[in-house]
Amino acid sequence: MKHATIAAAFAAALLLPCLAQAQQKKLYCWEEEGRKICGDALPADAADNARTEFNARTGTKVGEVARALTDEERAALAAEEAMAALQADEEAERQRRELAMVESYVTEADLQRSFDNRLALMDDTLQSSRIAISSLRGALLTRLRRASELELAGKPVDGELAAAIASQHAALQKQRALLARQQEERAMLDLEMASAVSRYRELTGERQADEAPAAAPSEG
């Protein structure tokens, strides 16, 4: 009797892996040229196809596998992931700047004063550029007038004067372009200040609300 029990246990131990393997055996279904095909083995040429997997014994769906992406789709997905990562980094940087702003300026007046200093520096820079343009324009007009007088007198404009006129004109154009960029930066600074003050009010308002003690319950 004892030997029969041992033999049965030994046979069961041998059968368990087989039963487990049978339970794990899968049935695959995929589409190929518009036709649905199912089989207990997945051909190599169908490895990249979308497919549904079933338990071969019970017929229960156990999983789905999407089709393999094309090179173009993988490149597009990589670009989307890179853009998402960049946007996440920019958002994290924005939050760090806002936190630093709240921690650096005790009051809104301190923040406003900081921007006022930046605006004053920018206004001084703009004024310096306008003075430079005025000076360059005056020097250019003087040389142009000299060249005009020579031509009216029937005399040639010498190479040195012509080169000076060309150089002065180029410098004037460069300074005008610089002034235009500075004016854009000045306008952007105004917008930045308005945005910073508005956001500061929101953040400090939220902080004050969080830090405010809860109202004591009324008696009676």
- Has this prediction a pTM greater than 0.75? no
Residue 154 has pLDDT above 50, yes or no: yes
Go through 110-140 and write b for each residue having 16 or more CB atoms within 10 A of its CB, e for each that does not.
ebeeebeeeeeebeeeeeebeebbeebeeeb
Residues 32-88: tens digit of each pLDDT:
777 888 878 778 777 778 888 888 777 788 788 877 777 777 788 788 888 888 878
Q: Is 38 exposed, middle or buried (0-12, 13-18, 19+ CB in 10 A)?
A: exposed
Domain tally, the chain: 2
Q: Are residues 163 and 134 in the same domain?
A: yes
Q: Are residues 113 and 203 in the same domain?
A: yes
Give whole-number Cα distances, 127 to 108, 175, 183, 187, 193, in Å: 28, 12, 11, 15, 21
Q: Are residues 80 and 107 in the same domain?
A: no
Q: Are residues 29 and 65 in the same domain?
A: yes
176 and 132 Cβ atoms separated by less than 8 Å? no
Q: Are residues 87 and 171 in the same domain?
A: no
| Residues of the domain holding 180 | 99-208
Q: Are residues 84 and 154 in the same domain?
A: no
Q: Are residues 132 and 152 in the same domain?
A: yes
Mean pLDDT of 86-110: 79
Domain stop point among 32, 63, 91: 91
